[in-house]
């Protein structure tokens, strides 16, 4: 492989190795090692429940044994459609120990998204929250799932909170009638029964898949990134190497980032386990609940996104809470505005390490130094063992010089094996060992990288990836819409929000509320447009392709001319 310049190596913190001595193994060995070193240390703290590492090994082993008893074979895909709960953690390690592949599914997904992901992955089993059963039940004839395991938040609580939860759910009408039959539809206890545990032998880390992580694109449907045990294991060790000092004393992680997002999975769960730290999962993000938990549990590590940190600082009573226990924040998805960065550091004393990643890279490829220079607006330096370069956006090729804009390409042990059953798409992004990210960036003289734009038209809102083509296709189903296109526009609170430009059918006059309501019935909440603009026509190329970039440029120019700051999210309803 041809050598490339690596100016970033000079700017690593002291004790950060240029190339980490990676110990590649089945991912579940991270759990075993933590349990061996700290058997009595809490692995999970949730409401009135605390699960030690020794207990987590036992529970995940039960899940593995019962999945095998129900017919799971090596390499089978198991969909896990759960919010951040103890069951999600137990199921994750259990599926891996059974020799299966985890397919995390966003609980916010709607019908078309669920049907596509389950069929594309060929998931034979589904572990799902009872509150989501109303989504799953009508889709069963369209799904390849053979067995369903349904759990409740109450299953993760001890007496009396489990009984109080069920009582409150009944009073509020939040119960779901699930047709348990013990053959196809099972309770969570079916995965917790018996005494025997199981761990698959002979797992080949570089070959066997741990995860099918679904990510979309500007064309077509979501694709499954084939993430091996080796990919995830390497990325955890790269993150540890880039964050010296973390784990030298007992740590506890706030589990706010969803595990179904690979950023949350790697940084909040896998890294937490590798450090023998305590995980504090949140099934639903509530600023008040997070502030109360920080005061009570004294977490030390807070993986998040700018929108999360900002929302906490915007709480009127934030000054009433002691946030000084937090020592490390790892931030991704969007740059942190300077003023908020300074406010959060003042409130906590923590260092915010901004970084970058993508699903295809497990996901972390860049982080700003923990103790050294952190350049604002930069995604930081390539993590140890990762190479990065900027290449021509059209032809690729050799690295461009510092300061020159082009497409960011990365190479390292965390890069996926490819897209599941999509060799052509794989060939588009994996070339000669390099992953072409589709992001437009540049590298400065010191080896710090800066994202300028997205070659793909990906929208990132509050840490969620939104693929505009999907929204376009939904809008084209509206009987009053002739043409439509979605773009991301800047937003202080979320980084970006979705704006759609709509050309009505002749004689039709749809309203903004009507368009938003239509999308809300078809899409997960975070994908729903926040802004709608009606036009007589859309800018297009000579071959009729709509120019999203031109629409974004018009928005930016309009804001500059008017002196308008980034928009606030003004749509009703949450993500």
Which pLDDT score, from 0 to 100, does residue 360 have? Answer: 97
In a domain, 215, yes or no: no
259-269 pLDDT tens trace:
999 999 999 99
74 and 5, same domain (yes or no): no
406 and 522, same domain (yes or no): no
CATH of the domain at 292: 3.40.50.12780
Instruction: Give, as one character, the DSSP assignment of residue 180.
Output: -
In a domain, 535, yes or no: yes
Which pLDDT score, from 0 to 100, does residue 545 have? Answer: 64
519 and 442, same domain (yes or no): no
Q: What is the 3-state secondary structure (H, E, C) of 19-73?
A: CCCCCCCCCCHHHHHHHHHCCCCEEEEECCEEEEHHHHHHHHHHHHHHHHHCCCC
In a domain, 273, yes or no: yes
In a domain, 499, yes or no: yes
41 and 110, same domain (yes or no): yes
In a domain, 220, yes or no: no
- Whether 497 and 461 have beta carbons less than 8 Å apart is answered as yes
50 and 195, same domain (yes or no): yes
Which pLDDT score, from 0 to 100, does residue 572 have? Answer: 32
Single residue among 423, 438, 456 that ends a domain in this structure: 456
Domain of residue 400 covers 1-21+228-456
Give the residues across from 486 on adjacent strands. Answer: 500
CATH of the domain at 152: 3.40.50.980
Nearest Cα neighbor of 145 from 80, 198, 91 is: 80
- Whether 280 and 45 have beta carbons less than 8 Å apart is answered as yes
300 and 153, same domain (yes or no): no
Which pLDDT score, from 0 to 100, does residue 1 have? Answer: 40
443 and 476, same domain (yes or no): no
Q: What is the DSSP string of 355-366?
A: EEE-GGGSSEEE
Give the residues across from 78 on adjacent strands. Answer: 102, 125
H or E segment and range at residue 281 = strand 278-281
Q: Verify cis geometry, omega within 30 degrees of 0, for the bond prior to 363.
A: yes
105-123 pLDDT tens trace:
999 898 989 999 999 999 9
483 and 448, same domain (yes or no): no
pTM for this structure?
Answer: 0.84
Total tally of structural domains belonging to the chain? 3
In a domain, 211, yes or no: no
In a domain, 221, yes or no: no
* C-alpha span between 244 and 533 (Å, rounded): 48
189 and 51, same domain (yes or no): yes
H or E segment and range at residue 190 = helix 189-192
In a domain, 568, yes or no: no
* C-alpha span between 7 and 463 (Å, rounded): 29
378 and 468, same domain (yes or no): no
* C-alpha span between 270 and 323 (Å, rounded): 24
Single residue among 414, 432, 456 that ends a domain in this structure: 456
Which pLDDT score, from 0 to 100, does residue 463 have? Answer: 81
430 and 464, same domain (yes or no): no
357 and 410, same domain (yes or no): yes
Single residue among 404, 421, 456 that ends a domain in this structure: 456
Block mean pLDDT (10 aa), the chain, length 575: 81 93 96 98 97 98 98 98 98 98 94 94 98 96 98 93 86 87 97 96 97 71 94 97 92 96 95 98 94 96 90 92 94 79 89 92 96 90 97 88 94 98 95 92 96 77 82 90 91 88 94 96 93 92 67 82 54 32
CATH of the domain at 506: 3.30.300.30
């Amino acid at each position: 492989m041809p050598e490339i310049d690596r100016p970033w190596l000079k700017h690593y913190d002291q004790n950060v190795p240029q190339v980490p001595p990676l110990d590649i193994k089945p991912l579940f060995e991270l759990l075993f090692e933590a349990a061996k070193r700290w058997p009595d240390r809490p692995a999970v703290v949730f409401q009135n429940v605390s699960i030690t590492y020794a207990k987590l090994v036992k529970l995940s082993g039960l899940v593995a044994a019962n999945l095998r008893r129900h017919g799971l074979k090596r390499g089978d895909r198991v969909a896990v459609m759960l919010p951040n709960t103890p069951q999600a953690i137990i199921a994750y390690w259990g599926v891996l120990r059974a020799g299966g592949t985890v397919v995390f599914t966003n609980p916010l997904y709607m019908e078309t998204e669920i049907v596509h992901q389950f069929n594309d992955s060929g998931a034979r089993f589904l572990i799902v929250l009872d509150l989501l059963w109303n989504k799953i039940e009508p889709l069963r004839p369209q799904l390849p799932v053979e067995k369903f395991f349904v759990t409740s938040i109450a299953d993760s609580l001890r007496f009396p909170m489990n009984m109080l939860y069920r009582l409150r759910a009944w009073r509020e009408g939040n119960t779901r009638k699930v047709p348990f039959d013990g053959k196809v539809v099972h309770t969570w206890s079916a995965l917790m029964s018996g005494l025997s545990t199981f761990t698959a032998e002979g797992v080949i880390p570089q070959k066997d898949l741990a995860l099918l992580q679904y990510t979309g694109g500007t064309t077509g449907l979501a694709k499954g990134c084939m993430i091996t045990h080796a990919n995830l294991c390497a990325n955890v060790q790269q993150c540890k190497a880039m964050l010296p000092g973390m784990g030298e004393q007992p740590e506890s992680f706030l589990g706010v980032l969803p595990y179904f997002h690979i950023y949350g999975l790697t940084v909040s769960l896998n890294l937490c386990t590798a450090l023998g730290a305590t995980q504090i999962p949140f099934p639903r993000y509530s600023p008040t609940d997070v502030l109360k938990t920080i005061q009570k549990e004294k977490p030390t590590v807070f993986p998040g996104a700018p929108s999360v940190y900002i929302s906490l600082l915007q709480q009127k009573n934030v000054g009433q809470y002691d946030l000084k226990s937090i020592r490390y924040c790892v931030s991704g998805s969007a740059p942190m505005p300077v003023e908020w960065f300074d406010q959060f550091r003042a409130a906590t004393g923590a260092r915010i390490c901004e970084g970058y990643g993508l699903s295809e890279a497990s996901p972390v490829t860049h982080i700003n130094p923990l103790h050294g220079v952190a350049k604002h607006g930069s995604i930081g330096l390539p993590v140890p063992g990762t190479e990065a370069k900027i290449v021509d956006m059209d032809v690729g090729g050799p690295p461009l010089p510092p300061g020159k804009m082009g497409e960011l390409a990365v190479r390292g042990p965390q890069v996926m094996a490819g897209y599941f059953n999509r060799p052509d798409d794989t060939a588009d992004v994996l070339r000669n060992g390099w992953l072409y990210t589709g992001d437009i960036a540049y590298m400065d003289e010191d080896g710090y990288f800066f994202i300028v734009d997205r070659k793909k038209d990906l929208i990132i809102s509050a840490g969620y990836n939104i693929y505009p083509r999907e929204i376009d296709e939904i809008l084209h189903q509206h009987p009053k819409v002739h043409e439509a296109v979605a773009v991301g526009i800047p937003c202080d609170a979320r980084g970006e929000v979705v704006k759609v430009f709509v050309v009505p059918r002749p004689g039709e006059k749809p309203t903004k509320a009507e368009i938003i309501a239509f999308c809300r019935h078809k899409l997960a909440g975070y994908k729903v447009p926040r802004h709608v603009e009606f036009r007589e026509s859309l800018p297009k190329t000579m071959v009729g392709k709509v120019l999203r970039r031109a629409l974004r440029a018009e928005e930016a120019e309009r804001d500059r001319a008017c002196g308008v700051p980034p928009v606030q999210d003004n749509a009703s309803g949450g993500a």
